[in-house]
Amino acid sequence: MDLRARINAGLKDAMKAKDADRLSTLRLINAAIKDRDIAARGTGEEGGVSDEQVTAILAKMVKQRQESARAYEEAGRIELAEKENGEIGVIEEFLPRQLDEDEAAAAVDAAIADTGATSIRDMGRVMGLLKERHAGQMDFGRVGPMVKQRLG
């Protein structure tokens, strides 16, 4: 089942269960996907967004909510931070499993070997390969310094 179908199935289940919080998060996901569909039609792309693009949308949504939750916590608005964290949990159900530190390190080493990177100037190629292979599976903000350290 493709990602879009899984999200729609989750939406129907949330409606049946009358789970308002989950339902609202799934509707936000669908709205973001439809926005990307509309933007793709404007540029002449056919067939709508792919699963990879949906994964990228979901990863971006998680990152936005993490930043919001952090800001709410710093401002002492714990209830809003908890709401954001709840949305993160729903969104992450549709993302691939995140790589742990050891797996991320192995992926970085493999990408460096596969690109033949030898210096910091090759960092862009390594990061591009990692994003291609592991979209939605790792936090590239954390992986960037790891690549830099290995190449530097």
Domains of the chain are 3-92 (1.10.1510.10), 101-151 (1.10.10.410)
The answer to whether residue 126 scores a pLDDT higher than 70 is: yes
**Could you report the per-residue pLDDT of 44-72, keeping only the tens digit for each?**
766 678 888 888 889 889 989 999 999 99
Contacts from 45-54 at CB under 8 Å and sequence distance 24+?
51/2, 51/3, 51/4, 52/135, 54/3, 54/4, 54/7
- From the centroid of its chain, how far is CA 87? 13
**Could you report the per-residue pLDDT of 19-40, keeping only the tens digit for each?**
999 999 999 999 999 999 888 8
Contact 19, 93 (CB under 8 A): no
Average pLDDT over residues 118-137: 85
